[in-house]
Structure 1
Amino acid sequence: MKITVMTADEQFITLDVDPEESVENVKALLEVETRVSLQQQQLLFNGKEMRNAERLSSVGVRDNDLVMMVLHTSAPSSRAPTNDLSFHPDGSAINPGAFQQHVRRDSDMMAQLLQRDPALAQAILGSDLNGLQNLLRERHQQRLELRRQQEEEMALMYADPFDVESQKKIEAAIRQKGIDENWAAALEYNPEAFARVIMLYVDMEVNGVPLKAFVDSGAQSTIISKSCAERCGLLRLLDQRYKGIAHGVGQTEILGRIHVAPIKIGNIFYPCSFMVLDAPNMEFLFGLDMLRKHQCIIDLKENVLRVGGGEVSVPFLQEKDIPTHFLDESRYSKQGSLGPGSLPESSGAKEKNDNMPTGSRSSGTTLSDPTRGPEFEAKIAKLVDLGFGREAVIQALSLFNGNEEQAAGFLFGG
């Protein structure tokens, strides 16, 4: 149950306690919160003093009840000296060693901490006093923030209902509460939404050379890098009349086109054509043109790629089987070149085919650049408000083609 304690300096502290908790243990929790020693505290409920040995339920304290705390100015000190257990204004202990030993000796307080704040309990049981001090400062800041929010909520409760600014603040508080509840529900029921999504890769052979192929149904064309094409012995077939520039998160040069070459998926060979890009961060991308030509099915239930309407099925690779440099999306976005998720058509890439012969120009649709405009800036502002750096937010949004939810999941999971 939750009880609210009004301290001697008229501050309100909310405690989550068991109905059978002893009054002495409640005082111990208040000692941590208020820095007022247990011996100096006197707790009153309905005007009557509650004794240390009594249980909250036995004195009639129920959920959401208010308890008053007053001070005994002449209380004896049977524990460590007050100076050793007092705190600096930033929340750190003046004598962290004495504070640590004081809490360790109190088995009831340690039991409470292990249940309600395991991180602080482990710091007290450990030997890193600097880590304990940092954690105490962090908890102090959290209490100050909570107290500030409570004060703002109390002020809004008594605000003039006809005051426009007060109503705006109330509306913002209600909206933020809804967002916080939605975020907490997502953490509990849909935690995978905050994890990094691993792209889809399969094993293929291109002209007899084994590769890890990135499967992207959002990319208009199947793409191979210059270095990969050279390794596969295909550069001799490069048609340079199809040169151009592909624009996406950044831009990269289209060196030309290889009109047909054999790829092996499973145990069957298929003809395939490629655009050749000067993209060192990507080897081979199996795009929508070949996915449609060979009637491929991306089966996420069985986690396989089915080719030829199902005549061949190859499993998508697990993260451990994918080269680490393929998974380094942040490096891709920093390089400003086309990496996974940022290729033609799916990310607004366009081809400039001014050097192509008449009748051979690409008919791909040109989309707007997602890294421009007020909508993109609004997404940046929302993610920056969650505590991420602006540069990291821009990179994440660019990586996921402006998708705010996927960018947030990447940042939380990073």
Structure 2
Amino acid sequence: MRLCLTDDEGSFKTIEVSSTLEIENLAPLIELELQIPASRQLLYSNGTQLIDTKRTLASYKINQDDIILVRNHGPAPSTASMSKAEMTRQQILADPDLQRRLIMQNPAIAGALTSPDQFERVFNEMSRQRAAYEQQSQQEMRNLQNADSMDVEAQKRIAEEIRKANVAQNMERAIEYHPESFGRVVMLYIDCEVNGHHVKAFVDSGAQATIMSPECAEACHVMHLLDERFAGVAHGVGTAKILGRIHSTQIKVGKSFLPCSLTVMEGKGVDLLFGLDMLKRHLACIDLASNVLRINHEEVPFLPEHELPDKAKLEASGSSRDESTNGASSSAAAAGDSGKVATQTTQPSASTHAVPTASTFSETSIQSLVDLGATREQAINALEACGGNVDMAAGLIL
């Protein structure tokens, strides 16, 4: 049932709970919503104080949409008396979006949110590591300043530090003036049907050919039309085996039934990739202003993020799709020249993303970020985004 929570300051929150929930288990939920510690809560409903914490909501005759008044019977701690860790914890608890990002980017911090003591230990350890890194960086800079001005290696290191500072400044300027550049882009998917089977197709104008996975081809009952004479290997970001080509089948886009040829290729990136061959053949237009695909004189809306297939949703830390998906466009381009049965090769298309490698950064830098609770891949991605600046990368992870 739905309950309405309010406090003396006029805050108003709505929560969904079971009528069999005990009062003692309701208190932590109220703490999350109204930021009043459970130990200082006085609960009232219909003029009655809910004193017995072992009783359920139903036993107090609390019904749907009833209002529970929450009073703080103790003085709220002043900002000065709260530790920095506790202030940070309260800020995170008050921001659901930040909590979701922390679960993906820093599970250690997210897992400690419900325990002030554990959170303080994790927070202090991360602060200690960051302070140690800053001290080490300052010591290295002092050593460089005191080094022989004619030392070539010292000059190279000074130049590198200047470059990193410029990169950090450039990033700060970008965050200040156009933060939207750090957002992630939702890929373009449309609803369609292949042989009567519903498929969410990835629209990619950077892919030369239209690709279907073997699993999707089986589900659409078109695998029996596969011409294995057009088999091969596509090379792009990685390699993928081309099983063959389906020369003609019917695909429903919007209300139109369109003829379509498919290259069947292994890989778990996408079920169906709607490539440039189909876009040009049917004079399609990707209208980003209206967020629609104009094809065959009708408008097909692109799917919102929550309707994308699970494979298309970003993994933890906002990382890009797996390598097989990243290489889909380039592999599609390779598959485009399907007249050849031999191995096919192409350069990655414009929609292919570069995968950062650990060799670009020192193991010490990567490990220092891993110690903050990030995975190795998250650490490398953060270093890549910050131009190798470990301090800025740590800020992103935190």
- TM-score, with structure 1 as normaliser: 0.54
The verdict on how the C-alpha distance between 1:394 and 1:122 changes in structure 2, with shifts beyond 3 A counting, is: closer
CA shift for structure 1 position 382: 4.7
> AA paired with 2:300?
V
Question: Does residue 1:109 correspond to 2:80, yes or no?
Answer: yes
Give how far 1:105 is off. Answer: 11
Out of 314, 317, 322, the position equivalent to 2:308 is: 322
The verdict on how the C-alpha distance between 1:346 and 1:383 changes in structure 2, with shifts beyond 3 A counting, is farther
Structure 1: how far apart are the matches of 2:386 and 2:283? Answer: 28
Is the 1:247–1:344 Cα contact (8 Å) retained in structure 2?
A: no
CA distance in 2, matches of 1:343, 1:265: 21
Q: Which residue of 1 aligns with 2:43?
A: none
Match of residue 139 from structure 1 = 127
Question: Corresponding residue for 2:346?
Answer: 367
SS in 2 for 1:203: strand
Counterpart of 1:313, as a letter, is E
Counterpart of 1:167, as a letter, is Q
Which residues of structure 1 form unaligned runs of 5+? Answer: 1-103, 354-359, 398-403
Question: Separation in 2 of the partners of 1:349 and 1:133?
Answer: 52
How far residue 211 of structure 1 moved from its aligned partner, in angstroms, is: 1.5
2:208 aligned counterpart, secondary structure: coil
| Aligned equivalent of 1:313, options 299, 309, 314 | 299
Aligned pairs (5 A) from 1:13-412 = 107=78, 109-110=80-81, 118-119=87-88, 128-153=116-141, 161-308=149-296, 311-327=297-313, 338-339=324-325, 341-343=326-328, 345=330, 349=334, 360-361=339-340, 366-368=345-347, 380-382=359-361, 385=365, 387=369, 392=377
Aligned residues: CA RMSD: 4.8
* C-alpha distance 377-131 of structure 1, shift in aligned 2 (>3 A): closer
How far off its partner does 1:216 sit?
Answer: 1.1
CA distance in 1, matches of 2:362, 2:136: 23
Q: Deviations over 1:51-102 (max 9, x none)?
A: xxxxxxxxxxxxxxxxxxxxxxxxxxxxxxxxxxxxxxxxxxxxxxxxxxxx
Question: Once the 2 structures are TM-superposed, how far is the Cα of residue 294 of structure 1 from its aligned partner?
Answer: 1.1
Matched residue SS, 2:345: coil
Aligned-pair CA distance for 1:215? 0.7
CA distance in 2, matches of 1:228, 1:152: 56
2:232–2:342 contact (8 Å) kept in structure 1: no
Cα distance in structure 2, aligned partners of 1:213 and 1:196: 20
Which residue is equivalent to 1:401? Answer: none
- In 1, Cα distance between equivalents of 2:163 and 2:86: 28
8 Å contact kept, 1:333–1:395: no
Q: Extract structure 1 runs of 4+ deviating beyond 6 A.
A: 120-123, 329-334, 362-365, 375-379, 388-391, 393-397, 404-408, 411-414
Provide the secondary structure at the position in 1 that maps to 2:126.
helix
Give the CA deviation at 1:256.
Answer: 2.2
Distance across 2 between alignment mates of 1:380 and 1:198: 29
Over 3 Å counting, the alpha-carbon distance change for 1:293 and 1:140 in structure 2 is same
Q: Equivalents in 1 of 2:129, 2:305: separation in Å?
A: 39
TM-score normalized by the length of structure 2: 0.56
Q: Percent identity?
A: 35
Q: Is the 8 A contact 1:344 1:350 kept in 2?
A: no
| Conserved 8 A contact 1:196-1:413 | no
1:332 Cα shift? 10
Q: Secondary structure at the match of 1:109?
A: coil
Distance 1:382 1:396 in 2: 11
Equivalent-residue separation in structure 2 for 1:142 and 1:394 (angstroms) = 14
Q: Which structure exhibits the higher relative contact order, with contacts defined as CA atoms closer than 8 Å and separated by 6 or more residues?
A: 2
